[in-house]
Amino acid sequence: MIEEVLPSHVHAFEAFDHVPLSSLHPQEAALVARSVERRRLEFATARHCAHQALDALGAPWAPLLATPRGLPVWPGGVRGAITHTTGYHAAAVAHGSRVAALGIDAEPDRPLPRGVLASIALPQEITQVGELAARHPSLNWDKLLFSAKESVYKAWFPQTSLALSFEDALIRIDPVRRTFSARVLPPALVRAHPGLSSFAGRWTARAGTVLTAITVDAAPATGGEAAGRHPDPVALRRPPSHP
């Protein structure tokens, strides 16, 4: 599923079944030592996905630790995002020279609990969800809207360290192209981070899961960077291709 929502310069890996807890590095296991087993299994499986994706990117193996707030600490020069829910786990990574921000989010394809839509959606989004549900009743558009907002947050927060409330981003879903757009509304946030004030995303839904993703491409390198004078830190640490 994950390839359907990400461009080819983003490396991603997904898993539907849990991997054993023993696959965690001891430092990673320590991050969830006090969590219930289900959380530890989802964490271990998502970490497995992240390591597979990082390997595909060419990053050397190292435990993927987290900040006290739970943000993964990606290797220098890497942008990444993780998601997990019942029966689905995924991670996506890219070189910071290609991608400025990345967000992925998976949710069970079931309706939001009663009353939640009103607390996470703007009035025009509630109208949109109603219209989509009338035209395409096979999908839970309220959950897709929620997932799109979570992807926005995951693309936004690691780059800004600023809170973003559900009413701070306006989502528009295209049911035919399987895309969505997001616009950050508070003028102060737009002024602070103009490059992250609007997002283009993709979505898919299959096997009981809705999945959304946002990729913000980095501005093309110019001058010295294009000439290789500021190479990507991950590229620097890649092992040589031959002995």
Ligand X SMILES: CC(C)(COP(=O)(O)OP(=O)(O)OC[C@H]1O[C@@H](n2cnc3c(N)ncnc32)[C@H](O)[C@@H]1OP(=O)(O)O)[C@@H](O)C(=O)NCCC(=O)NCCS
Binding interface with ligand X (CB under 6 A): 43, 46, 66, 70-72, 82-85, 105, 149-150, 152-154, 157-158, 164, 166, 168-169
Q: Which is nearer to ligand X, 104 or 132 (CB)?
A: 104
Could you give the CA distance from residue 160 to residue 71 in angstroms, rounded to a whole number? Answer: 13
Binning the chain into helix, strand and coil, the percentages to the nearest 5 are 40, 25, 35
Q: Which is nearer to ligand X, 50 or 132 (CB)?
A: 50
Q: Which is nearer to ligand X, 107 or 235 (CB)?
A: 107
- For the CB of residue 105, give the shortest distance to ligand X in the complex, in Å: 5
Do 154 and 103 contact (CB within 8 A), yes or no? yes
Q: Which is nearer to ligand X, 11 or 154 (CB)?
A: 154
Q: Which is nearer to ligand X, 206 or 238 (CB)?
A: 206
- For the CB of residue 196, give the shortest distance to ligand X in the complex, in Å: 12
Helix segments in the chain, DSSP class H: 26-31, 37-57, 116-120, 123-135, 141-160, 187-192, 223-226, 233-237
- For the CB of residue 224, give the shortest distance to ligand X in the complex, in Å: 31
Characterize the bridge pairing of strands 198-206 and 169-174: unpaired
Q: Which is nearer to ligand X, 76 or 231 (CB)?
A: 76
Q: HSE on the CB side for 30, CA within 13 Å?
A: 9
- For the CB of residue 227, give the shortest distance to ligand X in the complex, in Å: 33
Q: Which is nearer to ligand X, 178 or 183 (CB)?
A: 183
Residues contacting residue 96 through CB under 8 Å, at least 6 positions apart: 77, 78, 79, 218, 232, 233
Residues contacting residue 124 through CB under 8 Å, at least 6 positions apart: 170
Q: Which two tokens stand for residue 198?
A: 């609007």
Task: Work out the angle between the directed axes of helices 141-160 and 123-135 (0-180°, nearest 10).
Answer: 140
- For the CB of residue 44, give the shortest distance to ligand X in the complex, in Å: 9
- For the CB of residue 7, give the shortest distance to ligand X in the complex, in Å: 19
Buried b (16+ CB within 10 A) or exposed e, 52-87: bbbeebebeeeebeeeeeeebebbebbbbbbbbbee
- For the CB of residue 171, give the shortest distance to ligand X in the complex, in Å: 8
